[in-house]
């Protein structure tokens, strides 16, 4: 009898312990592992039974952008944007690069240990060696070696490896912010990519230039609009482009950049401060004049990892709708301001509805603004 009572008692104790553990686990699941405390806040945090990481985030003050800017960039290495067959003097059609395993999107960094920066250098080294060459190639995040045997082309008697390459690019976008404390800038809110390969281009050298909007092509459902502009004062660039990332381009300013609408920097708003409802963007659609345009934040995607699709915005300003039809190419990087804080930047337009688009949280951009 005692054994039976003891057995039942043991079962009850075990059941109770399991219930307690499940309850504790349930409570712990609601405790975050990473907590941000802003510099202007004081909090006492008691988190029993769990180790957490507490990040003290300094209050950031930035000069908002909205300026139309030109980007001129030399690519690090040379980017393979196409592969072609070469006709040899023997009448054969071969593609040495393809046979060796080269792919569109590969970045050729050096040939036989000699760095290459443009198509001309590739051509000169290939025709100096005229035999097997070893290419150091960056493919996404990997560095690989590729052995290629050039062939002589019947067209011009030059040795070739059958690749089309690109070594530079240029375009128009919008400045997002300037950090006056560090003389750095952020722009675009997304990467500069090669249109043929969608590869994010690595920066060898690059500059941010003044730009004037010359014309605006309206966006329509299925057909994105576009800002067309020209570079000016190219001998006096605004800054040095240092890094091209998925979340924007960043670099160092050469001189003071001012915003005529704001004489003082604004605080930034982190994602926990972003609200659905009215906000506005700063952008340039006429010459070099920055203007405010009303938008509505329709959806907020709370994120623990960086993404260029942090929120969905809709243009509500009749002036902007009449001028551009909504969000168009060249407006990427336009700062989004709500409650007098910079909370993000425009990144993409909805192809089938140009009145809507995506925005990125400003906190994801400032993570990359501390350039070396």
Has 332 been annotated as catalytic? yes
Active site residue 317: yes
Is 190 one of the catalytic residues? yes
Choice among 190, 211, 334, 348 that is catalytic: 190
Nearest to 252 by CA among 263, 264, 239: 239
| Distant-in-sequence, close-in-space partners of 243: CB < 8 Å, separation ≥ 6 | 203, 249, 250, 251, 368, 371
In Å, how far from its chain's centre is CA 339? 25
Through-space distance between the first and last CA atoms of the chain, rounded to whole angstroms: 78
**Torsion angles phi and psi, residue 15, rounded to 5:** -60, -40
Q: What angle do CA 325, 215, 179 make, to 5 degrees?
A: 85
Neighbours of 164 (CB within 10 A): 15
| Token pair 């014309």: residue | 215
Residue 193: DSSP 8-state: B
Beta-carbon count within 10 A of 65 CB: 27
Q: Which of 332, 334, 348, 369 is catalytic?
A: 332
Distance CA 243, CA 259 (A): 23
Task: Check 110, 286, 288, 317 and give the catalytic one.
Answer: 317
Task: Cite the active site residues.
Answer: 190, 317, 332
């Amino acid at each position: 009898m005692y054994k039976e009572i003891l057995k039942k008692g043991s079962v009850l104790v075990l059941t109770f312990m399991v219930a307690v553990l499940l309850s504790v686990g349930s409570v712990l699941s609601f405790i975050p592992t990473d907590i941000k405390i802003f510099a202007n806040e004081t909090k006492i945090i008691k988190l029993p039974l769990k180790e957490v990481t507490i990040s003290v985030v300094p209050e950031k003050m930035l000069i908002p952008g909205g300026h139309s800017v030109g980007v001129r960039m030399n690519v690090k290495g040379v980017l393979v944007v196409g592969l072609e067959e070469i006709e040899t003097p023997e009448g054969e059609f071969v593609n040495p690069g393809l046979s060796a395993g080269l792919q569109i999107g590969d970045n050729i960094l050096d040939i036989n240990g000699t760095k290459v920066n443009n198509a001309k250098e590739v051509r000169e080294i290939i025709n100096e060696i005229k035999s097997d060459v070893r290419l150091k190639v960056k493919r996404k995040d990997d560095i690989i070696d590729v052995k290629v045997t050039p062939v002589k082309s019947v067209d011009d008697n030059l040795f070739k490896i059958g690749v089309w390459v690109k070594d530079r690019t240029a375009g128009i976008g919008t400045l997002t912010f300037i950090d006056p404390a560090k003389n750095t800038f952020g722009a675009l809110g997304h990467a500069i990519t090669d249109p043929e390969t969608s590869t994010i281009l690595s920066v060898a050298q690059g500059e941010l230039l003044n730009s004037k909007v010359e014309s605006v092509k309206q966006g329509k459902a299925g057909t994105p609009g576009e800002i067309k502009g020209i570079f000016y004062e190219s001998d006096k660039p605004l800054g040095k482009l240092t890094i091209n990332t998925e979340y924007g381009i960043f670099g160092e300013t050469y001189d003071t950049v001012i915003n005529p609408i704001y004489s003082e920097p604004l605080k930034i708003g982190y994602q926990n401060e972003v609200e659905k409802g009215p906000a506005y963007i700063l952008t340039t659609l006429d010459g070099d004049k920055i203007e405010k345009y009303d938008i509505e934040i329709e959806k907020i995607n709370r994120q623990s990892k960086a993404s260029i699709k942090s929120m969905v915005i809709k243009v509500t300003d009749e002036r902007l709708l009449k001028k551009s039809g909504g969000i168009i190419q060249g407006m990427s990087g336009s700062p989004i301001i709500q409650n007098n804080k910079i909370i993000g930047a425009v990144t993409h337009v909805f192809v089938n509805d140009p009145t809507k688009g995506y925005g990125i949280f400003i906190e994801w951009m400032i993570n990359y603004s501390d350039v070396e």
